[in-house]
Amino acid sequence: MVFMTGAEAFIKSLEKENVEIVFGLSGGAILPICDAFNESNIRFLLARHEQGAAHMADGYARASGKVGVCLATSGPGATNLVTGIATANIDSSPVVAFTGQVPKDLIGRDAFQEVDIIGVSASITKYNIQVRNPNEIPYAVKAAFDISNTGRKGSVLVDIPKDVQTSAEEMHFPDKVAFKGYRIIGEPDPRELDWAATLLARAQKPMIMAGGGVIASNASSELLKLAEFMMAPVATTLMGKGAIPSDHPLYAGGCGMHGTCEANSLIGEADVLLVVGARFSDRTTGSIQEFSANSKIVHIDIDRSEIDKNVETVTRVVGDAKLALKGILKRLEKVRETGSPDSPWIKKMKEFREKYAIPEPRDNPHFKAPSVIKTLRKILPRNAIVTTEVGQCQMWAALYFDTYAPRTFLTSGGLGTMGWGFPAAIGAKAARPDVTVVDIAGDGSFGMTENSLATSVEEELPVIVLILNNRMLGMVAQWQRIFYGRRYVAVKLGKTPDFVKLAEAYGATGIRPGDTMELEKAIKDAMDSEVTTVIDVPIDPEENVFPMVPPGRGLKDFLVEA
């Protein structure tokens, strides 16, 4: 037992969780906690908008696998976090948000900068809690970290009234907290593993669809072993990109609305589809009725409530993906031979691969988005981390940027939050300062959080922002072209701003390459630069992302041109 203030106990609790860095902004209702940072080595990284702070914490969490921490004041500080918390939660990223709150006796009286953030954040967090007494702080912080980073990961919000930060009490720092209602099923039920293995053992055309859960549970090597043993092609969901190296012979590419024709076709043909750590989002499945209609589906997920939520499965394994994959492989090895690389199924895969091979894109003479991304990939080291914004740039990145390791392709999948990529890149750089970090951006998305340039420059976290600049909200424009007869509304962004000058105004480097050679040089220079570089690449406003499955259609109904 130690006697200290709530703010001091808060800092001590973070230290006990080995927190190195907090992304946030100060403000009235969080002043006592801000002050307590003076007595700590924890780095307070000052964002310029709370949304940016939350995305930075999210990027940090996804790149490192550790909990990302963000902090804001009450009222507008807290509501500005909302988009960031929701983005992290739906992508199962472990983020803990701390908010200041007006003193307890003012709560409910519409005090200055008072918002009921517990009510607001209830449906976009895994858990939230308001601390009512200083001596509850160590418990609440411990609980927040535990809940955020175990089971199906997610965001947790802890709201701390100002008087709770300032009052002092005897504090006890627990090493463990327990909840009666929080149970994590890690180890799968052996019977479920038996059933899954039985089904997979009989498969003639096995296919694996890997989601973000494979990355969250660090199960990539188990996934590869199983895929190679069965000779099963692997498709990834958007969140699963990186679960298997893009140059692996069994990798069929991404699946879903902007998946590869190869992956989407194979999913339609498979007889058993093993889905690992994915939640059958509408963007992944297309029409639910038509999804993988010829296959029996085996679903591995740590969250029982995901089973049969969107797609009916034949059998399921509830538990940690790594353990589940290991358990299935162990059983399969006893009853089935290693798959043959000459099987008709693998031939089918090769046939699709050849049939739908995309010709090497070229900048001819103007930049083409796919070719810009290929140029970037060629120059970056294999371990570079890429974040994306949302829209066309994101889908081009998903299709054309080869990824070789988990946690190197970070994107806002579930919420599709424009403006996520840049602050997330800064967070990723904070987690992995030794690695090159690039945000593949669009001009629309980048504009939403461009003020994070100040943070990246002042906090010396240099990243590269590669803007595929079409002066359009490109994906919406693409839909208006294809589905609304080119009747553009609210998509043309005009000529401003000049992103080169904008970067320079923040003390970053801005450059607008004129051709592929200049682009290559710009990327190389940016990798060596000590400040953030914004590379503004003008592309054709009319360029579409293909392949594309029109909304509501089955995955095999992909379009390859307009």
Partner 1 sequence: MEQTISTIAFLVENKPGVLFNVTNLFRRRGFNIESITVGPVENQELARMTVSVKADTKVINQIVEQLDKMVDVIKVKRLDPMRTVMREMVLIKINTIDPMSREEALKCVNEYHGLILNIEPDSIVVEVTGEPNTIDEFVRKVQPLGVIELSRTGVTALEKGHLKL
- Find the angle CA(334)-CA(338)-CA(341) to the nearest 5 degrees: 170
With CB under 8 A as the rule, give the number of residues binding partner 1: 18
Query: Residues 135-174 vs partner 1: string with x where CB under 8 A?
Result: ------------x----x----------------------
Q: Is 16 labeled as catalytic in the residue annotation?
A: no
Nearer of residues 150 and 529 to partner 1, judged by Cβ = 150
Instruction: Rule CB under 8 A: say whether 105 interacts with partner 1.
Output: no
Q: Is 50 labeled as catalytic in the residue annotation?
A: yes
CB of 302 to partner 1, least distance (A): 10
Q: Length of the chain, please?
A: 562
Query: Residues 254-293 vs partner 1: string with x where CB under 8 A?
Result: ----------------------------------------
Name the residue with tokens 């103007």: 366
CB of 309 to partner 1, least distance (A): 6
Centre a 10 Å sphere on the Cβ of residue 261 and count the other Cβ atoms it contains.
Answer: 23
CA proximity to 409, closest of 435, 444, 375: 435
Q: Is 499 labeled as catalytic in the residue annotation?
A: no
Q: From the list 39, 105, 247, 308, which residue makes contact with partner 1 (rule: CB under 8 A)?
A: 308
The letter for the amino acid at 346 is I
Q: From the list 122, 335, 517, 560, which residue makes contact with partner 1 (rule: CB under 8 A)?
A: 122
Question: 358: which DSSP letter?
Answer: P
Instruction: Rule CB under 8 A: say whether 181 interacts with partner 1.
Output: yes
The Cα–Cα gap between 52 and 543 comes to 29
Instruction: Rule CB under 8 A: say whether 304 interacts with partner 1.
Output: yes
The Cα–Cα gap between 206 and 294 comes to 11
Which 3 state secondary structure label does DSSP give 297?
A: strand
The Cα–Cα gap between 140 and 132 comes to 10
Instruction: Rule CB under 8 A: say whether 334 interacts with partner 1.
Output: no
The Cα–Cα gap between 533 and 470 comes to 19
Nearer of residues 303 and 402 to partner 1, judged by Cβ = 303
Instruction: Rule CB under 8 A: say whether 485 interacts with partner 1.
Output: no
Report how far Cα 119 is from the mean position of its chain's Cα atoms. Answer: 25
CB of 130 to partner 1, least distance (A): 8
Q: From the list 46, 106, 107, 118, which residue makes contact with partner 1 (rule: CB under 8 A)?
A: 118
Nearer of residues 148 and 411 to partner 1, judged by Cβ = 148
Dihedral Cα 199, 200, 203, 205, nearest 10 deg: 130
Q: Is 113 labeled as catalytic in the residue annotation?
A: yes
Q: Write out the DSSP string of 460-487.
A: T---EEEEEE-SB-HHHHHHHHHHSTT-
Q: From the list 309, 348, 553, 556, which residue makes contact with partner 1 (rule: CB under 8 A)?
A: 309
Query: Residues 411-450 vs partner 1: string with x where CB under 8 A?
Result: ----------------------------------------
The Cα–Cα gap between 247 and 255 comes to 16
Instruction: Rule CB under 8 A: say whether 179 interacts with partner 1.
Output: yes
Centre a 10 Å sphere on the Cβ of residue 528 and count the other Cβ atoms it contains.
Answer: 9
Q: Is 37 labeled as catalytic in the residue annotation?
A: no
Beta bridge partners of 129: 158
Residues engaged in binding partner 1 (CB under 8 A): 118-119, 122-123, 126-127, 147, 152, 179-182, 303-305, 307-309
Please give the positions annotated as active site: 50, 112-113, 162, 475
